[in-house]
Amino acid sequence: MIIALAGNPNCGKTTLFNQVTGSHRHVGNFPGVTVEQKTGDIVGHKGVSVVDMPGIYSLTSYSSDEIISRDFLLKQKPDAIINIVDATNIERNLYLTMQLIELQIPMVIALNMMDEVQENNGSIDILHLRDALGVTVVPISAKHKQGLAELVEVTMHAALHKTRPQRIDFCSADATHRAIHAITHLIEDHALKYEIPARFAATKLVEGDEKIRKQLNLSKHEEETIEHAVTEMVAHLGTDREAAIVDMRYHFIEETCRASVVKAKESREYRRSVKLDNVLTHKFLAIPVFFGIMFSIFWLTFDVIGSRLSDWMASGMEYIGDWLGAVLEEFGLNPAVHSLVMDGAYEGVSAVLGFLPFIVVLFLFLSLLEDSGYMARVAFVMDKLLRKIGLSGRSIVPMLMGFGCSVPAIMSARTLASERDKKMTVLLTPFMSCGAKVPVYVLFIAAFFAEHQALVMMALYLSGVLLAVLSGLVMSRTVFRGAPVPFVLEMPNYRFPSVKTVLLLLWDRSRDFINRAFTFILVATVIIWFLQYFDVRLNHVENIADSMLAYIGRLLAPFFAPLGLGDWRISTALVTGFSAKEVVVSTLAVLADVGEDSLAGALHAFFTPLSAVSFLIFTLLYTPCVAAVATFKRELGSFKGMMLVILYQTTVAWLAAFCVYRVGWMMGWG
Ligand code: GDP
Ligand code: MG
């Protein structure tokens, strides 16, 4: 049995999903976080799975998000839908409900966030709502686990007895009614044949939904009759076809809410949020405040907390390394294997793991910002700026997520309404500095710019943003002409971040990082070790410069030489970095002659401060990792698109690093 969770963004779907399935998915206090369907079994009901769908406002076909959800509901035919409605925002949420009803799938409405409504002396007449909509309504609070048992029970009942929504006609205007009615009759056979609920198909046809029209496979004559009915309706109402349907729905929603909802008084949280927003989203203050906050985070992470933790971590690692080396020596292990374990695997993995404290601290702050509701404000403030450069404001969500990891960020570009906006966002998101780039930054900053850690760090993050902005400007005037689709972003109230949510987020990120260290990075390091230990004829080399790796590296070096990165070890590190950004560090750790010195110290042998900058710029901008590449392919839907993205990013990275290096060189900083 399959139960689908459907609802607007940020209405609590994932929270409910986690509660009923006992899982720990990412709950975000900002829309666009869940873009993939995830499935889990209801605790205590084996064989009953719940699907957490992305948040949508409507079942139109404007964004791939909506199309995915719609196709899921139409094709997979879940046994029941739980439609989650945010009770504090009931009017807007019911808009989706009205469309779900048309699907005629057994359905239950979970009226969520009732805790907030009650706290602020609001109330909702559940029975009236039920009768008006013809769907059972269960008040719940997903966060506080209230009403969940009843919800599960009612849903199971509806699914088993196939209790479909009782009402389907919500028209008030005659003209709309006539049009929908006539079209429903006309297409009934087609709808049955292609398994699309007739009423749903009819309203979509009135709205002018191309996808449904194609799916129904109508005859020429039928299409003309439909257009005729619509033209008549439009002439009668004096609005356009889409507005006719929107009006119909909102008219009904207004009536129903007037009779059943006592509006909660403005909550304390709301008033507090308004006050905070006066400053945080202020016309002039917003951006300086944002930079202030970001700078404090970088400063705290890299100068104050992270560096100390990292020192401890490094001495711990060194201790373990010495011990392990001694044990292996005692054991009399073959020198080649010993070198593989110590100089290869251990050196590489521990070099990357040493940066874990930075990642943890940075993400701790970022998840605090996200869960408090501030990220949604950042999106709001940036929206205006983004629109000026021809990007949809909606792109800000993927871009902000890009500071965590490009993979989910690129996927969340699905929520964008137009192909143009989506493609641009997919192209630009990887310019954000993801968590995997942090180790590279930290290593080089410690080696060359130790006095200004936070500043350089912030400059790197900003350069990524700047490049994305510039690219956006150029693209929207060349390949991607056209206007971005406007979007609505809601502001959740500011809240005290929940410890559980923040810890879960943090755990997710850290686990991911550790996983990568022991799988991907371990394998990559071993390969690198192998290539630098043997020459082309598989003889052990005394001097690393004679190895297979050096041979490959030298082939590639001319490509990087104009950037001041002509040393074969550097080009090798950059090329292996295509697999994952942390691998840049682990490769350097294997290749650099560390000896008694630290890795940071050893870097001075083949970098100057200027070439270090050039290196950082290149690392910041080129293709993030194979996982991201796979995501490009999936989201753009073509191999060609994927190759173009890689080419684009590498070119931009090369040019930017080239400019920086050449300018620096002319200024005599080399
Ligand atoms: P989704 O976008 O629909 O998956 O929504 P999430 O599950 O990510 O939740 C959005 C926000 O609403 C989170 O910050 C939750 O903590 C919060 N939330 C969810 N359910 C409730 C509830 O019953 N009461 C209150 N007050 N907040 C809730
Ligand atoms: Mg969610």
Residues 6+ apart with CB under 8 A from 27: 14, 15, 18, 33, 501, 504
In this structure, are residues 619 and 587 in contact, taking their beta carbons and an 8 Å threshold?
no
Alpha helices per DSSP H over 22-135: 64-71, 90-102, 114-119, 126-133
In this structure, are residues 110 and 234 in contact, taking their beta carbons and an 8 Å threshold?
no
Helices (H) and strands (E) in the chain, counts: 32, 8
% of the chain with per-residue pLDDT over 90:
44
Q: Is the CB of 93 under 6 A from ligand 1?
A: no
Compute, in angstroms, the gap from residue 488 CA to the centroid of ligand 1: 19
Residue closest by Cα to atom 19 of ligand 1: 12
Residue 143 lies in a domain: yes
Domain that holds residue 127: 2-160
In this structure, are residues 585 and 633 in contact, taking their beta carbons and an 8 Å threshold?
no
Among candidate residues 160, 188, 212, the one where a domain is terminated:
160
Amino acid at position 404, single letter = G
Q: Is the CB of 12 under 6 A from ligand 1?
A: yes
Taking residue 591's Cβ as centre, other Cβ atoms within 10 Å add up to 26
Compute, in angstroms, the gap from residue 395 CA to the centroid of ligand 1: 22
Strands 38-41, 80-86: pairing kind: unpaired
DSSP states of 138-163: EE-BTTTTBSHHHHHHHHHHHHHHT-
Report how far residue 278's alpha carbon sits from residue 285's, in angstroms, rounded to the nearest whole number: 9
Q: Which atom of ligand 1 is nearest to the CA of 28?
A: 8
Q: Which ligand is nearest to the CA of 27?
A: 1
Q: Whose CA is closest to 72, among 40, 97, 36, 24?
A: 36
Residue 32 lies in a domain: yes
Backbone angles phi, psi at 298, to 5 degrees: -65, -40
Q: Looking at the structure, tell me whether residues 10 and 126 fall in a common domain.
A: yes
Exposure string over 376-389, b if 16+ CB within 10 A, otherwise e: bbbbbbbbeebbeb
Q: Looking at the structure, tell me whether residues 152 and 187 fall in a common domain.
A: no
State whether residue 49 is helix, strand or coil. strand
Q: Looking at the structure, tell me whether residues 109 and 220 fall in a common domain.
A: no
Q: Which ligand is nearest to the CA of 38?
A: 2
**Direct distance between the N- and C-terminal alpha carbons of the chain, in angstroms, rounded to an integer:** 67
Q: Looking at the structure, tell me whether residues 16 and 62 fall in a common domain.
A: yes
Q: Looking at the structure, tell me whether residues 137 and 222 fall in a common domain.
A: no
In this structure, are residues 652 and 467 in contact, taking their beta carbons and an 8 Å threshold?
yes
Q: Is the CB of 436 under 6 A from ligand 1?
A: no
Number of domains in the chain: 2
Q: Which ligand is nearest to the CA of 16?
A: 1
Give CA separation, 158 vs 27, 39, 40, 61, 79, in Å: 27, 20, 19, 28, 9
Q: Which atom of ligand 1 is nearest to the CA of 16?
A: 7
Among candidate residues 262, 282, 299, the one where a domain is terminated:
262
Residue 305 lies in a domain: no
State whether residue 134 is helix, strand or coil. coil
Q: Which atom of ligand 1 is nearest to the CA of 112?
A: 23
Residue 277 lies in a domain: no
Q: Looking at the structure, tell me whether residues 154 and 179 fall in a common domain.
A: no
Q: Is the CB of 28 under 6 A from ligand 1?
A: yes
Q: Is the CB of 32 under 6 A from ligand 1?
A: no
Residue closest by Cα to atom 14 of ligand 1: 29
Average pLDDT along the chain, 670 residues, taken 10 residues at a time: 92 93 75 71 90 87 79 91 94 94 96 92 94 96 95 96 92 89 94 93 92 92 94 91 90 94 82 90 89 88 83 87 91 89 87 85 86 85 78 80 86 79 90 92 92 90 91 86 68 83 83 84 88 87 86 92 93 90 90 76 90 96 90 89 93 96 87
Q: Is the CB of 115 under 6 A from ligand 1?
A: yes
In this structure, are residues 522 and 296 in contact, taking their beta carbons and an 8 Å threshold?
no
Residue 40 lies in a domain: yes
Alpha helices per DSSP H over 534-592: 548-560, 568-576, 582-591
Residue 149 lies in a domain: yes
Amino acid at position 363, single letter = F
Polymer length in residues for the chain:
670
Among candidate residues 233, 262, 291, the one where a domain is terminated:
262
Predicted local distance difference test score (pLDDT) of residue 146 = 95
Residue 242 token pair:
């889409």
- What is the sign, positive or negative, of the torsion defined by CA atoms of 614, 616, 622, 625? positive
Taking residue 556's Cβ as centre, other Cβ atoms within 10 Å add up to 16
pTM of model > 0.85: no
Predicted local distance difference test score (pLDDT) of residue 601 = 86
Residue 18 lies in a domain: yes
Q: Which atom of ligand 1 is nearest to the CA of 17?
A: 7
Taking residue 1's Cβ as centre, other Cβ atoms within 10 Å add up to 15
Q: Which atom of ligand 1 is nearest to the CA of 140?
A: 23
Q: What is the CA radius of gyration of the chain?
A: 29
In this structure, are residues 362 and 306 in contact, taking their beta carbons and an 8 Å threshold?
yes
Q: Looking at the structure, tell me whether residues 96 and 179 fall in a common domain.
A: no
Q: Looking at the structure, tell me whether residues 142 and 206 fall in a common domain.
A: no
Q: Is the CB of 25 under 6 A from ligand 1?
A: no
Residues 6+ apart with CB under 8 A from 408: 35, 401
Residue 350 lies in a domain: no
Report how far residue 632's alpha carbon sits from residue 638's, in angstroms, rounded to the nearest whole number: 8
Alpha helices per DSSP H over 120-219: 126-133, 148-161, 174-193, 198-207, 210-216
**What CATH number is attached to the domain comprising 198?**
1.10.287.1770
Q: Looking at the structure, tell me whether residues 142 and 232 fall in a common domain.
A: no
Q: Looking at the structure, tell me whether residues 38 and 117 fall in a common domain.
A: yes
Q: Looking at the structure, tell me whether residues 156 and 180 fall in a common domain.
A: no
In this structure, are residues 565 and 615 in contact, taking their beta carbons and an 8 Å threshold?
yes
Compute, in angstroms, the gap from residue 132 CA to the centroid of ligand 1: 26
**What CATH number is attached to the domain comprising 37?**
3.40.50.300
Residue 589 token pair:
């750790």
Taking residue 492's Cβ as centre, other Cβ atoms within 10 Å add up to 18
State whether residue 491 is helix, strand or coil. coil
State whether residue 61 is helix, strand or coil. coil
Q: Looking at the structure, tell me whether residues 149 and 203 fall in a common domain.
A: no
Residue closest by Cα to atom 9 of ligand 1: 12
In terms of Cβ atoms closer than 10 Å to its own Cβ (0-12, 13-18, 19+), residue 558 is: exposed
